[in-house]
Amino acid sequence: MYLLPTFRILVLLLVALPLVSAAVVPLFGRAARRAALLLALLHAGVTAAVVAGALPALNQRGENVPPGRDFAFQKFTPEFVPGDPGVSDASTSTHRTRWTLLNLGDAPPDRAGPRIQFYIGVDGLNVWLVALCSLMVIPAILVSWEAVADRPGAFYGWLFVLQAGAIGAFLSFDVILFYAFFELTLIPSFFLIGRWGEGPHRRDAARTFFLYTLGGSLLTLVGVVGVVLTNPLPDGRFTFELPELMAAVQRNLGGAFAEFLRTGDGGPLAEKQNLQFWLFLCLIAGFMVKAPVWPFHTWLPAAYREAPIGVTLLLSALLAKLGTFGLLRFVLPLTPDAAVAYGLPVVGVLAGIGIVYGALCAYAARDIKMMVAYSSLSHLGFLVLGILAFNREGLSGATLHMVNHGVSTGALFALLAFLLDRYRTTDMRQYGGLTGRFPRFAFLAFVLCFASIGLPGLNNFVSEMLMMAGLFDARNPGVGGFGYAVVAAVGIFLSAWYVLTMLRRVFFGPVVEPPPAVAGPVHDVNPREVVALGGPVAVCLLLGLVPQVLLNPMKADVAALAEVGDAARDRVAGTAPKFEDGLPAGTITPARKNP
Amino acid sequence: MSEPLLLAFAVLGLLLGATVLTALLSLSAGLKRFAHLPLVVACGASAVLAMILVGRVQAGGSAPRFVSDPLTWFAAGKLTVNLTLAVDPLAAVMLATVTFVATWIAIFSSGYMRDDHGGPDRGYVRYFAVMSLFVFSMCGLVLANNFLLLVGFWEGVGVCSYLLVGYYYDKPAAAAAARKAFLVTRLGDTGFLLGIFLLWRLGGWHTDLTALFDHIQKHPPDTASLTAACLLVFCGAVGKSAQFPLYVWLPDAMEGPTPVSALIHAATMVTAGVYLVARCAPVFALVPDAQAVVAWAGGITALLAAVIALTQTDLKRVLAYSTVSQLGYMFLALGTLGAISPVFAVTAALFHLFTHAFFKALLFLASGSVMHAMGGVIDMRRFGGLRRVMPVTHLTFLCGAAALAGIPLLSGFWSKDAILEALKLGGESAHPYAGAFHVLLLVGLFTAGLTAFYTFRAYFLTFWGPTRIPEEAGHHAHESPAVMTGPLLVLAVGALAAGAVAGPLTHWFETFVGRTPSLQQAAAVVGMKAPSHAFDWGLAGVSTLLAVGGVGLAAVMYARGRPAKVPAGLEPVVALSRNKLYVDEVYEAALVKPMAGLAVAARVFDLFLDALSRLLASVPRFLGGLVRPVQNGLVQFYALSMALGAAVLVSFVAFRITR
């Protein structure tokens, strides 16, 4: 494919462009918002090109998934890696990079070794999340249009840094590089909340957010380094390349398991699995804080409340997804046995509590902004359950749900900007009967609320059903019954409960409105808001009607991950791998009997 | 693609097109008054197409079923969700009923949805857009051959119901009713979803109905799991079809415009649960426990709702409780599907659904006509003696009431008789719950008497006695325009004759619906042939006596158009009935309040956590304050501390190495 080098440059641009934008935007002064919008649109164009280029490759991979009986070498394969050694002849791809940032030892350049690299690429798991990052910045800028008058240049600059951090983290295939991008998002969030926040406690909120997530992610760093040090390559070297590291973990555990099956001595395997448990705890800490999973959510209410609405939008749409994506990309492949053994029983229980707890808090919240914030906690609990089910349905559903939830929750926050611009409050006690007052706004609000409660035809339904199927098909040893599925279903019901209660208070009944923020008549949605809200509405509808477009490209990567899970289930249960006979060649699913 | 499928797609396409077109009309102020046209035209055309479809299916061989090629909606792992439609006699009859009734209700609506000056109502476009979307979803629900696609349309009709119940959005009662309707049905749907996934697991990972049923028939799973799955699926039916204990939303849903009540909350959407169980007959046939639950739910609901209907003073609410009660009848019949032949049981339920659609839609539209004339007043205590003011409405209402009461030879008589017969045969069968069917037969008969009584109570209170008209009516108190009375007349003919024509005269309905492959499949599972349909004179005689007795009692008590005095000693019973058995209050105290309290508790707890985390945020500031004195600017101090630190470090390292 002669276009390969072009796409590698475009992938690099995905990260570089926001950084450049961040540097350039402040120069525009008063016109910063216009410049920011143009740059965001340019980025969306780049993303569209990358997606268009990646889809054929990813779809093809999905159709030609190898039967995958060799569990030892299931690994991620990024496409369009900038600095790919194959760039010299421009037609082949090695899915690796030569761009080393820091060499920690000597290793031949064509072999994996102890070096930190600028290793980014596109695969089925991150391609849509990058698209989400690219798209949701546009409404974030549009809803800040009027609201941010104070030093807009710096504001939009930090917004772009945030975008760069998130995109970088999604694209990274080097564990340390991921960590760096993951932390990079903290700095802009800190300044955006602390400097442009709306509440009196914004500095406290920013500080809590910063400390909390930093604390969690430091533990994650310990876990990452621990995984690297305990899983050397066959030649004894260490590696930070995620695909190689993933394969090394498989080999390491698989070897011990094979020995157990041969000799009956489970000692080495048990030792490795014990170690995995601690590494699992460390790894997941940062992601549980970021997602957040109950009870590590305590930074969330304050941060979401105090942040300016455009930033809240990005926090919920993008940053929360970093946490769940971390589970998918790092925790599951690097500590699969612990994820199978302790994922649902420990983290899953917390997530389940979070589903109900978040829903209850959302119902009791008087402020619509807080309601959406808590609903996010509830929905993300379901998402975490879907991931931890660790099978094809759950993983596909969760990956899709990250995008779906990003769009619909982000758009719900964008809705609130409409009210904030006009009345400076989102307290639902001060509103009533808005359907008659602002019919167009009400229409958009109803569609987005329906999307949020998982109505069919809109986006969240599809991913929720997939995750539900994942929970019904969860074969993790020790997980009996359908308790998690029931909790998830209750969560879906509760979401209707609080959202409809909010709709009744705010959109039904006689018209009630607080004193307007600006003099003069208050109008229904203006063209800028039509774009900021209508865009997500259209995306919600589209994703609900043709979700398979998103599911096909992720098939191969989900399959790889699910195979890792299947192997881990066998190891945890201590049973030799079993396959159903008569598997047609080329089938993705070596479906296994229940252990 | 075969012709029946093309017709089915054409119906759906027409209705979806109508929805989009109506929505586009909202963009132009001048065209708003034509907003009813897309729905009326699309519904009319769909009704014609659906009738052609019935003919084609009838000619479709001994096992007529046409399934469209699957088109993947979404798939991952073992879950594959296809967009497939299936046409069989069951679906064809249902489709024809829905579109036919909807057509007349759409026409009626164009006359009803008017403001005080006869111009289109404020939300005219919104009304017809949502109605179109509703009819589209309902037809999709009928035709869907995939469980999740079915859920899609199922929720679609739910949303349309929500939007239409809340049509008068500035009325707090309407807002509360809309939310309640959606939430209560959603509660049932939560079980429904779980049931679908359980079936998916048990049924070889299929979600297509036909494939799933085939798989379950070939590899029957253990009874306990299958019972659980059936009961969970039935939860959805209980919610949608307003059965005990989830019926509470339907009476409140009367806050919507009356044609909406006629279409959605009487004739079509609420029958979706009945239709769902009928569709799933091959699975329900395997589990007697689930059948008993279905029958009992139906029996309890039928009786309970009839008792409540006895004393209601709101005409629409009487009809609403009557709907709940009649839906209970249908479930009674469905409950016998394992005791007698599933073909007979389901046919009986569907036949009642079919006739009920006519006379209940008629009754609602007639009461809408009354409400229209009375300036929005629907409390029977405030008007009376309207038979001279509104002759057409009066006569058509009488037709509907007589059919509902089960007066011999009218539609309701035949279908109710079939249900009672199913129960009688069920009692005589070898089914493990045969005894229950005996009891339920008595419940059914008693309810039949109650039905006749409350229906004619409403009729006499509204149309007999001296003419009384509330002041809200103003100069409106006259017969409705032809655009409204026309549909009434058409539906009245249906209420009078549809049952006899499709039933005893031709036996068309039972032979046609009986050929449905899935019902034959269920019959094969149970291993029973349909009993030869011998008309049971004894049963018919008893039910006739009860019906006539009920009407007579109502005539004696209410023919003067005034509420009768309550006989002494019955006051507590009447109060219980008037207050709807306090079910709403019990739910409020037992479920709604505790949940809200729990929510507040969770929120308060979270505020406490919030305060804790703010404490955490102040740690750096606090630490900063603590160590600030150390930065005292004395160079000597810095040097000393540096030296000390280095010494500690070196000694530590040395210690570690030498050990």
**Segment B1-13, tens digit of pLDDT:** 688 899 999 999 9
- Cα A516 from Cα A157, distance rounded (Å): 30
The pLDDT score that the predictor gives to residue B613 is 75
Token reading at B529 = 């042939």
B510 vs A576, more confident? B510
Average pLDDT, chain B: 90
Instruction: Render A4-42 in DSSP notation, one character per residue.
Output: HHHHHHHHHHHHHHHHHHHHHGGGGGGGHHHHHHHHHHH
- Cα A540 from Cα A552, distance rounded (Å): 18
CA A334 to chain centroid, in Å, comes to 18
Q: Is A491 on the interface with B (CB under 8 A)?
A: no
Cβ within 8 Å, pair A591-B78: yes
Cβ within 8 Å, pair A433-B169: yes
- Cα B311 from Cα B458, distance rounded (Å): 10
Give the residue-averaged pLDDT of B380-405.
92
For residue B53, what are the CA distances in angstroms to B49, B357, B502? Answer: 6, 19, 17
Interface of B with A in 601-630 (CB under 8 A): 601-603, 606, 609-610, 612-614, 616-620
Asked whether residue B113 carries a pLDDT value surpassing 50, the answer given is: yes
Instruction: Say whether A100 sits in a helix, a strand or coil.
Output: strand
The pLDDT score that the predictor gives to residue A584 is 35
Q: Is A486 on the interface with B (CB under 8 A)?
A: yes
Cβ within 8 Å, pair B74-A547: yes
The pLDDT score that the predictor gives to residue A579 is 44
Contacts of A359 (CB under 8 A, 6+ apart): A374, A375, A378, A491, A494, A495, A497, A498
Q: Is A323 on the interface with B (CB under 8 A)?
A: no
Q: Is A507 on the interface with B (CB under 8 A)?
A: yes
CA A545 to chain centroid, in Å, comes to 22
Residue A115: strand pairing partners: A103
CA of B517 vs chain A CAs: smallest distance (Å) = 29
Residues from chain A that touch B73, judged by Cβ atoms under 8 A, are 462, 547-548
CA of B613 vs chain A CAs: smallest distance (Å) = 6
Is there a contact between A435 and B174 (Cβ–Cβ < 8 Å)?
Answer: no
Cβ within 8 Å, pair A470-B616: no
Token reading at A276 = 């995995």
Q: Is A305 on the interface with B (CB under 8 A)?
A: no
* Cis amide leading into A527 (omega within 30): no
Cβ within 8 Å, pair A456-B155: yes
| A4 DSSP 8-state letter | H
For residue A29, what are the CA distances in angstroms to A24, A146, A150? Answer: 10, 15, 11
Token reading at B401 = 């009431």
Cβ within 8 Å, pair A392-B77: yes
* Nearest residue on chain B to A204, alpha-carbon basis: B617
Which residue from B272, B275, B240, B263 is spatially nearest to B101, judged by alpha carbons?
Answer: B263
The pLDDT score that the predictor gives to residue A22 is 94
Residues from chain B that touch A482, judged by Cβ atoms under 8 A, are 194, 198
The pLDDT score that the predictor gives to residue A70 is 56
Give the residue-averaged pLDDT of B37-65.
91
The pLDDT score that the predictor gives to residue A406 is 95
Cβ-Cβ pairs closer than 8 A, A with B, add up to 171
Output the pTM of the full model. Answer: 0.92
Residues from chain B that touch A450, judged by Cβ atoms under 8 A, are 159
Is there a contact between A299 and A289 (Cβ–Cβ < 8 Å)?
Answer: yes
Residues from chain B that touch A371, judged by Cβ atoms under 8 A, are none
The pLDDT score that the predictor gives to residue B632 is 67
The pLDDT score that the predictor gives to residue B205 is 92
The pLDDT score that the predictor gives to residue A583 is 37
CA B272 to chain centroid, in Å, comes to 6
| B379 DSSP 8-state letter | B
Token reading at B459 = 């009729």
Q: Is A556 on the interface with B (CB under 8 A)?
A: no
Which residue from B12, B93, B80 is spatially nearest to B512, judged by alpha carbons?
Answer: B93
Q: Is B75 on the interface with A (CB under 8 A)?
A: yes
B502 vs B616, more confident? B502
Residue B66: strand pairing partners: B87
Cβ within 8 Å, pair B77-A461: no
Is there a contact between A400 and A547 (Cβ–Cβ < 8 Å)?
Answer: yes
* Nearest residue on chain A to B170, alpha-carbon basis: A509
Which residue from A595, A577, A571 is spatially nearest to A273, judged by alpha carbons?
Answer: A571
Residues A242/A243/A245/A249 CA torsion (nearest 10 deg): 130
| A431 DSSP 8-state letter | -
CA of A493 vs chain B CAs: smallest distance (Å) = 6
Cβ within 8 Å, pair A436-B170: yes
Which residue of B24, B26, B79, B189 to mutate against A (max A Cβ within 10 Å)?
B79
| B389 DSSP 8-state letter | T
Which residue of A437, A465, A499 to mutate against B (max B Cβ within 10 Å)?
A465
- Other CB atoms within 10 A of residue B552 CB: 13
**Sign of the C-alpha dihedral computed for residues B135, B136, B140 and B143 taken in this order:** positive
Strands (E) in A33-182, as ranges, are 100-103, 115-117
Q: Is A434 on the interface with B (CB under 8 A)?
A: no
* Nearest residue on chain A to B609, alpha-carbon basis: A298
Token reading at A481 = 């019954």
- Cα B633 from Cα A195, distance rounded (Å): 31
The pLDDT score that the predictor gives to residue B175 is 94
Q: Is B24 on the interface with A (CB under 8 A)?
A: no
Interface of A with B in 397-416 (CB under 8 A): 397
Which residue from A544, A435, A455 is spatially nearest to A496, judged by alpha carbons?
Answer: A455
Interface of B with A in 180-219 (CB under 8 A): 182-183, 186-187, 189-190, 193-194, 197-198, 200-201
Which residue from A416, A398, A211 is spatially nearest to A298, judged by alpha carbons?
Answer: A211
- Other CB atoms within 10 A of residue B625 CB: 10
User: Which range among A105-109, A549-553, B335-339, B603-607 shows the weakest confidence by mean pLDDT?
Assistant: A105-109
Radius of gyration of chain B (CA): 30
The pLDDT score that the predictor gives to residue B332 is 95
- Cα B158 from Cα B189, distance rounded (Å): 10
Instruction: Say whether B571 sits in a helix, a strand or coil.
Output: helix
Instruction: Measure CB to CB from residue B77 to each of A208, A510, A589 and give the nearest one.
Output: A589
Residues from chain A that touch B187, judged by Cβ atoms under 8 A, are 493
> Could you give the count of Cα atoms lying within 13 Å of B117 in the half-sphere of its Cβ?
2
The pLDDT score that the predictor gives to residue A112 is 78
- Cα A389 from Cα A466, distance rounded (Å): 11
Cβ within 8 Å, pair B152-A456: yes
Q: Are strands B72-76 and B79-82 parallel, antiparallel or unpaired?
A: antiparallel
Instruction: Measure CB to CB from residue B77 to each of A201, A299, A396 and give the nearest one.
Output: A396
**Sign of the C-alpha dihedral computed for residues B404, B405, B411 and B412 taken in this order:** positive
| A329 DSSP 8-state letter | I
The pLDDT score that the predictor gives to residue A474 is 85
Contacts of B207 (CB under 8 A, 6+ apart): B79, B80, B81, B82, B146, B147, B148, B196, B200
Whether this model's ipTM surpasses 0.95 comes out as no
Give the residue-averaged pLDDT of B439-461.
94
Q: Is A500 on the interface with B (CB under 8 A)?
A: yes
Residues found in chain B: 659
Residues of chain A scoring pLDDT < 70: 1-2, 62-73, 86-91, 575-595
Which residue from A386, A219, A205 is spatially nearest to A288, judged by alpha carbons?
Answer: A219
Cβ within 8 Å, pair B77-A473: yes
- Cα B143 from Cα B5, distance rounded (Å): 10
The pLDDT score that the predictor gives to residue B623 is 75
Cβ within 8 Å, pair A470-B77: yes
CA of A302 vs chain B CAs: smallest distance (Å) = 7
Residues from chain B that touch A465, judged by Cβ atoms under 8 A, are 74, 79, 81, 148, 193
Residues from chain A that touch B201, judged by Cβ atoms under 8 A, are 472-473
pLDDT band at B570 (very low <50, low <70, confident <90, very high): confident
